[in-house]
Amino acid sequence: MTRIFIICLSIISAGTAYITLTRSEDLSGTPILTWVTDPNPARYEQIDFFHDWLIAQGHTDENGDPIVRIQLETGGVDNKKIIHGVSGVAGDILDMYNEVDQFKKLGILEDLTDYADRYGFGPDQTYDAIKNDIVIGGKQFAFPCNVTSHACWINMDVMQAAGIDQLPESWTVEAFERIGKKFVQNMNSSNEAQNYFFMNNPGDDQFVGWITVLMRSKGGSFYNETMTECILDQGPFAEMIDLNIKWIEEDRIFPNAAEASSFSASGGYGGAKMSLFLEGKYGMINLGRWLLVRMREMENPPKVAVSRYPYFDYENTTIGSRCSSIYKGSKHKDLAALFLAFLASDKYNNQIVDCADALPPNPNFCSSQRFLRPSEYPNEWGAHGAAFRSADEVAIPDAKSLFISQQILGRELRTAFEKVQSKLSNSAIASLQAAEAVNEEIKRNVSNSLRLEKKFKNALALQAKIDAFKKAGKKIPVDWISNPFLKKYYRSLGMLEETK
């Protein structure tokens, strides 16, 4: 199977290389840039808008036509962007989902700092919590196409049927559990199998973000201050596993894995998480604003509202983005930079506002009535503002260690949860095993790279200073901390010495 995969991958790469090398211009001689992105139908409208924007901005040839055109490249095998990038045949514009740091490490992304200054798509044009994702080592390497901050999206028609007229925009874990129990009790007969749940099982594709928020709300983090060590066994991770299993097995506010699978099996395509929410089987689901794209396809969509993820002591949420970068090997970097300038424009941001494909890259567009109260969708009024405030007020970017892939961390988090849920381990042991697995991977990565080894040794030395300062009760210089959550959390506790 591996040999077949490699052969197929080689054929795909060769074909893409041929297309890339032989179709860089149209018949009129206008350069054609390739945009490597997802197959969302909205991308075609966005390309048309880009061409219109070019004309409006005066970026035209002698005939008044755009000086550059965009074509899409979608689909393909996993890691295709990486394979093409290191092979020298990637598209001109590359879309990434919280992966800018990984692609930057490969050396295939263009430094956009000067372009951003020239065309006005610098980090000041997006959310504060996103800046760490697009600026690395003081240099800008991407700009967001849209921004996602997950929250609890609520089917208010179902909630009202359960006797719950309103949910708080911000709520504690205690309130979340209390209201969840009421929903389940009111919506299900005690003599029948449970058909209604307060929320989907968080052990699905949103588990990492869900558990991150709960852990952080108790001051916990996946990594230490310099992100040289995984500390899952030292914080509240085990407690959060147990809490979520309690919500599944005792309080029944989430379905267990078998029930979720049964829903999907019996419902076919309509049994997916999103469909179960729209059908009213789930009172709410933890997703981003982009769920409205699907909901707007319905003839009679439900009234929706938004609540933030529940918290214990420190309110927070996660945030991420789909970003565009310029391939370092592109022959038309100046023209590709115009596309990123378009992403910061009024025309593009308003298109994201209108189509509800997550949040617009520039937060200034989230205060308009166009965003808050779309005239064609009164059932959404109130939800948009709450979704934006969550991203704007309490969002903190993911802690991404230089020394390990986020995918490895996510895998170990899920494995630990599944071990406990399947009764193969208890939460304390599962947390310890997860931390050990992550730290072993960090050691392996560092030992295989002289560049990483040097950075790791420097970070360890800095961590020793931080530990000494903490033990002595001294304020820690803010520049010493690379973990974005601990930096913000320590600041709230008055533990940091700010840079003068």
Q: What confidence tens digit (pLDDT) does each residue in 91-110 have?
A: 999 999 888 988 888 889 99
pLDDT tens digits, 299-319: 999 999 999 999 999 999 999
Mean pLDDT of the chain: 89
pLDDT at 13 over 70: no
CB within 8 A of 324, min separation 6: which ones?
35, 37, 93, 94, 95, 96, 142, 143, 144, 145, 339, 340, 343
pLDDT tens digits, 359-416: 999 999 999 999 999 999 999 999 999 999 999 999 999 999 999 988 899 999 999 9
Please check whether residue 409 lies inside any domain of the structure.
no
Supply the pLDDT for residue 10: 46
Residue 244 burial by CB count (10 A; 0-12/13-18/19+): exposed, middle or buried? buried
Please check whether residue 422 lies inside any domain of the structure.
no
Phi and psi at 287, nearest 5°, equal: -145, -175
pLDDT at 120 over 70: yes
CA angle 72, 397, 431 (to 5 degrees): 110
Q: Name the token pair of 225.
A: 């201050």
pLDDT tens digits, 172-225: 999 999 999 999 999 998 767 899 999 998 877 889 999 999 999 999 999 999
The one-letter code for the residue type at 229 is E
Q: Which has the closest alpha carbon to 292: 361, 215, 382?
A: 382
Residue 352 belongs to domain spanning = 2-147+320-366
Supply the pLDDT for residue 264: 56
Please check whether residue 7 lies inside any domain of the structure.
yes
Q: How many domains in the chain?
A: 1
Query: If you average pLDDT over residues 121-140, what whole number do you get?
Result: 93
Q: What is the percent of the chain with per-residue pLDDT over 90, rounded to a whole number?
A: 76
Supply the pLDDT for residue 268: 37
Please check whether residue 358 lies inside any domain of the structure.
yes
pLDDT tens digits, 22-37: 456 665 689 999 999 9
Supply the pLDDT for residue 21: 43
Of the listed ranges 26-35, 150-159, 219-228, 319-328, the least confidently predicted one is 26-35
Supply the pLDDT for residue 202: 80
CA atoms within 13 A on the CB side of 370: 14
Q: Which has the closest alpha carbon to 399: 147, 133, 97?
A: 133
Supply the pLDDT for residue 79: 53
Cα 390 to the chain's mean position, in Å? 14
pLDDT at 18 over 50: no
pLDDT at 122 over 80: yes
For residues 192 and 447, the answer to whether their CB atoms sit within 8 Å is no
Q: Which has the closest alpha carbon to 196: 249, 263, 142?
A: 263
pLDDT at 493 over 50: yes
For residues 184 and 250, the answer to whether their CB atoms sit within 8 Å is no
Query: If you average pLDDT over residues 324-343, what whole number do you get?
Result: 96
Please check whether residue 260 lies inside any domain of the structure.
no
Overall size of the chain counted in residues: 500
Within 10 angstroms of residue 152's Cβ, the number of other Cβ atoms is: 24
Taking CA atoms, 167 is separated from 148, 278, 387, 398, 428, in Å, by 22, 18, 14, 27, 34
Q: Name the token pair of 439.
A: 């730290």
How far is residue 162's CA from residue 193's CA, in Å, rounded to a whole number?
A: 17
How far is residue 105's CA from residue 100's CA, in Å, rounded to a whole number?
A: 9
Please check whether residue 285 lies inside any domain of the structure.
no
In our burial notation (b when 16+ CB lie closer than 10 A, e otherwise), range 310-332 reads: bbbebbbbbbbbbbbbbbbbbeb
pLDDT tens digits, 419-457: 999 999 999 999 999 999 999 999 999 999 998 999 999
Q: Name the token pair of 405.
A: 């892939």
Q: What are the respective helix, strand and coil percentages of the chain, to the nearest 5?
A: 50, 15, 35
For residues 458 and 452, the answer to whether their CB atoms sit within 8 Å is no
How far is residue 271's CA from residue 261's CA, in Å, rounded to a whole number?
A: 9
pLDDT tens digits, 369-385: 999 999 999 999 999 99
Give the global pTM.
0.88
Please check whether residue 35 lies inside any domain of the structure.
yes
**Domain at 348, CATH number:** 3.40.190.10
Query: If you average pLDDT over residues 120-142, what whole number do you get?
Result: 94
Please check whether residue 393 lies inside any domain of the structure.
no
